[in-house]
Amino acid sequence: MNNEEVDRIRSVYARWEPTYDCSNAGYLRSLGERDDRLRGLLSRLPHNLTRCRVLDVGCGYGSLLNLFHEQGVPADGLFGIDLLLNRIQVARKRYPSFTLKEGNAEQIDFPDKRFDVVTVFTVFSSILDRGMAENVALSIARVLASGGTIIWYDMRYPNPWNRNVRPITKRRIRELFPSFELQLESLTLLPPLARHLGPATNCIYPLLVKVPVLRSHYLGLLRSAA
Ligand SMILES: C[S@@+](CC[C@H](N)C(=O)[O-])C[C@H]1O[C@@H](n2cnc3c(N)ncnc32)[C@H](O)[C@@H]1O
């Protein structure tokens, strides 16, 4: 466990969070795009969602788990873990029937092979310490059932305005999850661009996001190669 990195992440979010505008049109459009693609992915998963157990690592306020709930996963199959107590407290209020734990995903407090699906959305880009990232990846692989699926969403480009995040390239994903096969697609218009589209967002976002180099994130599946 890496306590310095834990403290760093907590202090970064304490400073950054109050300044982030979650009502920005470009931000909301990119979330909508991501969630539409995710629903498409879920409809093609080999797992029966009505009997699935899902763990969201770095679950924040729990909204991703709620998307799984809307897609058919029962509340008693939905689990989340996050380092930030304030986020877990809000998530528990919003979704009292999900199981939500405050904790460091370097040590996930669940038995081996417990989950059919583990989601990890913009978490590894928040972790600068390589040792912590490797420990989190090992924990995810440990709690994933044989034949289970990791669902990945994270940034593939560096953010020159934010030194507290790092890009996660395909090469780095392969280093973190060496025994998994990657099925990733790029999406999400570069946030600094998307956030400046203003009232033209709905017209311009879909045109710009067609240009592959302007897509900042990967979304997709990591399937156990075994
Ligand atoms: C950018 S936020 C994303 C939150 C959520 N996944 C989403 O997509 O809205 C990254 C989250 O990862 C969490 N996180 C980072 N490192 C973690 C760790 N080692 N264990 C648990 N959570 C962690 C942070 O506390 C934060 O809530």
pLDDT at 25 over 90: yes
What is the average pLDDT across 106-135? 97
Beta bridge pairs of residue 82: 102
CB-neighbour burial class of residue 87 (10 A; exposed 0-12, middle 13-18, buried 19+): buried
CA contacts within 13 A on the Cβ side of 46: 10
- Residue of 33, 126, 129, 140 with the most ligand 1 atoms within 8 Å of its CB, for mutation: 126
What lines the ligand 1 site, CB under 6 Å? 9, 13, 58-60, 81-84, 87, 104-106, 121-123, 126-127, 132, 136
d(CA 38, CA 68) in angstroms, rounded, equals 10
What is residue 161's predicted lDDT score, i.e. its pLDDT? Answer: 82
Q: How confident is residue 102, by pLDDT bands cut at 50, 70 and 90?
A: very high
d(CA 221, CA 152) in angstroms, rounded, equals 6
Whether the Cβ atoms of residue 76 and residue 52 lie closer than 8 Å to each other? no
d(CA 185, CA 45) in angstroms, rounded, equals 16
d(CA 134, CA 127) in angstroms, rounded, equals 10
Query: What are the structural domain ranges in the chain?
Result: 3-224
pLDDT at 18 over 70: no
State which ligand 1 atom lies nearest to the alpha carbon of 104.
20
Whether the Cβ atoms of residue 97 and residue 127 lie closer than 8 Å to each other? no
What is residue 226's predicted lDDT score, i.e. its pLDDT? Answer: 59
Cβ neighbour number for residue 1 with a 10 Å cutoff? 10
What is residue 160's predicted lDDT score, i.e. its pLDDT? Answer: 84
d(CA 20, CA 132) in angstroms, rounded, equals 25
Q: Which of 5, 107, 1, 119 is nearest to 54 (CA)?
A: 119
What is the average pLDDT across 18-43? 92
- Residue of 33, 61, 82 with the most ligand 1 atoms within 8 Å of its CB, for mutation: 82
Residue 120 C-alpha from the chain's centroid: 4
Q: How far is the CA of 203 from the centre of ligand 1 (A)?
A: 31
What is residue 15's predicted lDDT score, i.e. its pLDDT? Answer: 86
Superfamily of 3-224 according to CATH: Vaccinia Virus protein VP39 (3.40.50.150)
Q: How confident is residue 176, by pLDDT bands cut at 50, 70 and 90?
A: very high
What is the average pLDDT across 95-106? 98
Candidate from 1-5, 15-19, 53-57 with smallest mean pLDDT:
15-19
Q: Give pLDDT tens digits for 36-85.
A: 999 999 999 999 999 999 999 999 999 999 999 999 999 999 999 999 99
Q: Give pLDDT tens digits for 122-165.
A: 999 999 999 999 999 999 999 999 999 999 999 999 988 888 99
